[in-house]
C-alpha cells in the first residue's frame, strides 16, 4: 500500500506556495521519503526577490523594540516546539536525536542573542576637528541595514545555521531570502513558520526550496541582493563569488581542523574531547577534528585510549536516545568517504579501527601514517574519519597543522602557558581552543576562517556588522 507523503509548501514573501515539480526529502537511515518540498523555479526566485525588495523597506522601518519582541517570541515558540523540531532535524538529516536536541537549544539561544543584539547596534561620535579647518564640524556615524540578503545554507546544521543568518538579519532591519540545502529543507521552512507566528511582517523572509545548481545563480547574480551569506563547501563558494558582482560576501566554508596534544596535557580530557570532536554529526561538521598531532612521548598511550573510546561509539538508529552517531547525509557521501580511506590505505596508511560502510552508515574510523599525498591528508573529509600523527614537538605540530589550504579552528591540549601562547600566535586559523578540540563553538563568539575556510565572521553581533554599513553624518556649524 502506498502511503501519501506530506507536501510541504515553501514561503515566498510570506505566502506559502507550492510548485509544479517537487523534491523528495529522504531519511538517509532507511531511504524513507518523509516529505516533499516545491522545486522552486527561477521565476519563483525572481518573485521572492521582488517581494524581498519591499520586505527590506518594511524591515528597515521596524523599530528596535518590535524586532526584539519578534525574535524573543520566536525563541519562545521554538522552545515550545523543541521536541518536534528535534525530530525533524534528526529525520531529514544525519543527526542523532541527542545531537538534534542540542541543535534546537542552540537555535533558541541564537534567536535570543539576536534579539539582545538588536538594541546594541550603535555608532559613535567622530572628532571632525582633528582636521585643520574642520573645527566647527560635529558629527557621528550610525549603522544602517544593507537591504536584501540571500542566505544559502548547508545540510549539517539545518536549523541553527539558518537561525545564524535570519536572526541577525531581522535584528539589523534587513530582509532575507533563505535557500536551504536540498537534502534538509524542512527545518528552515518550520523556522519560517515560527517567525510568522511570532509576528514577522510578510515579505521580510522567504524560504525557497530548490536545487542550488539551478536557482543559486539567480540569487547570487541579482543586483537587488546586497549580500550573499553563504555557508557550505569551498567549490560552491568559489562559484558564488564568481557570479556575485558588486555585493557583500559572507563565506563560511570548510576545513580539516587540527588539534594538538602535548605531553603535559590531561590525556583523558584530550581523548574524550577529540573523540567527540571527530565523530559528532558523523564527522560532518566544519570544525570537526580531522588531524590530531600528538607528541611522541604520549603517542602510544593516547592512541590506545582514543581507539578504545572510538570502539565504544554506538552507531545506529538516529531516533534512539542512546545512539551516538547516525548515517552520513547520503549513501553517495558514505561511498566517497570510503574511497578516500581506501586511497590512504593503498598508499600506506594504517587503519586502527572502523573503515566499514553499510549503506549511508560509515563506522567511526581512525588511521595513522597517512601519506601527505592522499586527499585525507590535505582535503576536507567531512565524514567520521580522523588521522593521528606522532610529532617531535610543538613546532613540528604547528608547521604540519598550518600546511593545508584551510584555517577555520584549531585546538591544543597543554598545561604550559608558553606553549599555548605560541600556538595562539602561530596557528593560522580563525579560532583556537585551549584544552578543547577544534570542535568547540559558542554561538555569540566571532566565527569564521582564513585561507579557503572563508571570508567574514558570523556569531550574531559579528554577522550584524557584516549586514550593516556605517552612514556618516556631519553638521557644519560655521
Ligand atoms: P554545498 O554542497 O556547498 O551546499 C551548500 C549550499 O549551497 C546548499 O544549499 C546547496 O544547494 C547550495 N549550492 C550548491 N551548488 C550551488 C550553486 N552552484 N549555486 C548556489 N548555491 C549552490 O555544501 P554542503 O555539502 O551542504 O555542506 C558541507 C560544507 O559546508 C562543508 O565543506 C562544510 O565544512 C561547510 N560548512 C561550513 C560551515 C562554517 O560555518 N564554516 C558550517 C557548516 C558547514 P543544494 O543543496 O541544492 O545543492
CA distance linking residue 211 with residue 181, whole number of Å: 8
pLDDT digits (tens, 9 = 90+) for 407-416: 999 999 999 9
User: Of all atoms in ligand 1, which is nearest to the CA of residue 210?
Assistant: 47
Ligand 1 atom closest to Cα of 180?
A: 9
Q: Does the CB atom of residue 290 touch ligand 1 within 6 A?
A: no
Average pLDDT, the chain: 97
Q: Is 85 exposed, middle or buried (0-12, 13-18, 19+ CB in 10 A)?
A: buried
Tens of pLDDT along 344-385?
999 999 999 999 999 999 999 999 999 999 999 999 999 999
Quick one: pLDDT band at residue 3, thresholds 50, 70, 90?
low
What is the residue with the minimal CA distance to atom 43 of ligand 1? Answer: 286
Q: What is the pLDDT of residues 298-354, one digit of tens each?
A: 999 999 999 999 999 999 999 999 999 999 999 999 999 999 999 999 999 999 999
pLDDT above 70 as % of the chain: 99
Residue 2 has pLDDT above 60, yes or no: no
286 in catalytic set: yes
Per-residue pLDDT tens over the stretch 58-99: 999 999 999 999 999 999 999 999 999 999 999 999 999 999
Ligand 1, atom 30, residue with closest C-alpha: 232
Q: What is the pLDDT of residue 1?
A: 46
Dig out the grid coordinates for 420 from the structure: 599555548
Residue 207: which of 191, 220, 228 has the closest Cα? 191
**pLDDT tier at 4, thresholds 50, 70, 90:** confident
Amino acid at each position: 500500500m502506498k502511503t501519501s507523503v506530506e507536501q510541504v509548501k515553501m514561503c515566498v514573501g510570506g505566502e506559502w506556495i507550492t510548485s509544479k515539480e517537487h523534491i523528495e526529502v529522504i531519511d538517509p537511515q532507511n531511504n524513507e521519503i518523509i516529505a516533499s518540498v516545491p522545486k522552486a523555479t527561477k521565476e519563483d526566485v525572481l518573485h521572492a526577490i521582488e517581494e524581498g525588495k519591499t520586505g527590506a523597506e518594511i524591515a528597515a522601518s521596524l523599530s528596535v523594540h518590535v524586532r526584539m519582541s519578534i525574535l524573543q517570541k520566536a525563541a519562545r515558540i521554538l522552545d515550545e516546539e523543541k521536541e518536534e523540531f528535534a525530530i525533524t532535524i534528526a529525520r531529514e538529516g544525519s543527526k542523532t536525536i541527542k545531537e538534534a536536541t542540542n541543535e534546537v537549544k542552540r537555535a533558541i539561544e541564537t534567536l535570543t542573542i539576536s534579539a539582545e543584539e538588536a538594541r546594541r547596534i550603535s555608532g559613535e561620535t567622530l572628532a571632525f576637528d582633528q582636521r585643520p579647518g574642520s573645527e566647527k564640524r560635529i558629527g557621528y556615524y550610525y549603522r544602517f541595514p544593507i537591504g536584501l540578503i540571500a542566505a544559502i545554507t548547508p545540510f549539517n546544521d539545518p536549523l541553527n545555521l539558518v537561525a545564524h543568518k535570519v536572526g541577525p538579519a531581522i535584528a539589523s532591519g534587513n530582509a532575507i531570502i533563505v535557500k536551504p540545502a536540498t537534502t534538509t529543507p524542512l527545518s528552515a521552512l518550520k523556522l519560517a513558520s515560527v517567525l510568522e507566528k511570532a509576528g514577522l511582517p510578510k515579505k521580510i523572509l522567504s524560504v525557497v526550496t530548490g536545487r542550488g545548481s539551478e536557482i543559486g545563480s539567480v540569487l547570487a547574480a541579482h543586483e537587488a541582493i546586497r549580500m550573499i551569506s553563504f555557508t557550505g563547501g569551498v567549490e560552491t563558494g568559489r562559484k558564488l563569488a564568481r557570479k556575485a558582482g558588486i555585493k557583500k560576501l559572507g563565506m563560511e566554508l570548510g576545513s580539516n581542523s587540527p588539534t594538538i596534544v602535548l605531553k603535559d596535557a590531561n590525556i583523558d580530557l584530550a581523548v574524550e574531547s577529540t573523540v567527540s570532536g571527530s565523530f559528532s554529526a558523523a564527522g560532518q561538521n566544519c570544525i570537526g577534528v580531522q588531524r590530531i598531532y600528538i607528541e611522541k612521548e604520549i603517542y602510544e598511550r593516547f592512541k590506545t585510549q582514543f581507539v578504545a573510546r572510538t570502539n565504544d561509539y554506538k552507531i545506529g538508529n538516529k531516533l534512539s536516545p542512546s545512539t551516538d552517531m547516525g548515517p552520513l547525509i547520503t549513501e553517495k557521501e558514505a561511498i566517497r568517504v570510503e574511497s578516500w580511506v581506501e586511497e590512504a590505505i593503498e598508499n600506506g596508511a594504517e587503519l586502527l579501527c572502523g573503515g566499514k560502510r553499510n549503506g549511508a552508515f560509515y563506522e567511526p574510523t581512525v588511521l595513522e601514517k597517512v601519506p601527505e599525498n592522499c586527499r585525507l591528508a590535505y582535503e576536507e573529509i567531512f565524514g567520521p574519519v580522523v588521522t593521528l600523527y606522532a610529532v617531535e614537538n610543538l613546532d613540528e605540530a604547528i608547521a604540519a597543522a598550518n600546511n593545508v589550504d584551510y584555517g577555520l579552528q584549531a585546538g591544543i591540549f597543554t598545561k604550559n602557558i608558553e606553549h599555548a601562547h605560541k600556538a595562539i600566535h602561530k596557528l593560522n586559523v580563525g579560532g583556537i581552543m585551549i584544552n578543547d578540540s577544534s570542535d568547540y563553538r559558542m554561538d555569540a563568539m566571532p566565527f569564521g576562517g582564513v585561507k579557503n575556510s572563508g571570508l567574514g565572521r558570523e556569531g550574531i553581533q559579528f554577522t550584524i556588522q557584516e549586514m550593516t554599513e556605517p552612514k556618516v553624518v556631519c553638521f557644519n556649524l560655521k
